[in-house]
Amino acid sequence: NAGVTQTPKFQVLKTGQSMTLQCAQDMNHEYMSWYRQDPGMGLRLIHYSVGAGITDQGEVPNGYNVSRSTTEDFPLRLLSAAPSQTSVYFCASSYDYRGNGYTFGSGTRLTVV
């Protein structure tokens, strides 16, 4: 099994550009989440989904959009990139709401210049 697959692994954007970070899982997990990780800040929740068609905001949602049209995919869209969005982004999935079986992707390192 591939688990959670994130693409791309690295990306450089110019301020104002938009892009989509892809996340796919093959474990049939209902719960999926996006986090960003910054030095000294830990992992902060951006958006999450409890199933296809259902999403909600996390701690730091501004500047990001998500959708969940299928169980497998949970893309994260940056609408107009800003230098403050320079970070490492992780997608994760789990099979229950307590985070049991939580599996992370290997991350996308994004730099906005």
Partner 1 sequence: TQLLEQSPQFLSIQEGENLTVYCNSSSVFSSLQWYRQEPGEGPVLLVTVVTGGEVKKLKRLTFQFGDARKDSSLHITAAQPGDTGLYLCAGPASGYALNFGKGTSLLVTP
By beta-carbon proximity to partner 1, the closer residue of 2 and 42 is: 42
16, 53, 83, 99: which one binds partner 1 (CB under 8 A): 99
CB of 15 to partner 1, least distance (A): 26
Taking the C-alpha atoms of residue 32 and residue 17, their distance in angstroms, rounded to an integer, is: 25
Asked if 98 interacts with partner 1 (CB under 8 A), we say: yes
Asked if 50 interacts with partner 1 (CB under 8 A), we say: yes
Asked if 103 interacts with partner 1 (CB under 8 A), we say: yes
Judged by CB under 8 A, the stretch of 14-22, 62-70, 76-84, 89-97 that binds partner 1 is 89-97
By beta-carbon proximity to partner 1, the closer residue of 16 and 51 is: 51
Which residues, including other chains, have CB under 8 Å from residue 82's CB and lie 6 or more apart?
15, 63, 112
Taking the C-alpha atoms of residue 74 and residue 72, their distance in angstroms, rounded to an integer, is: 7
Which backbone phi and psi does 84 adopt, to 5 degrees? -65, -10
CA dihedral in degrees (65, 59, 98, 72; nearest 10)? 10
**Per rule CB under 8 A, count of chain residues that contact partner 1:** 28
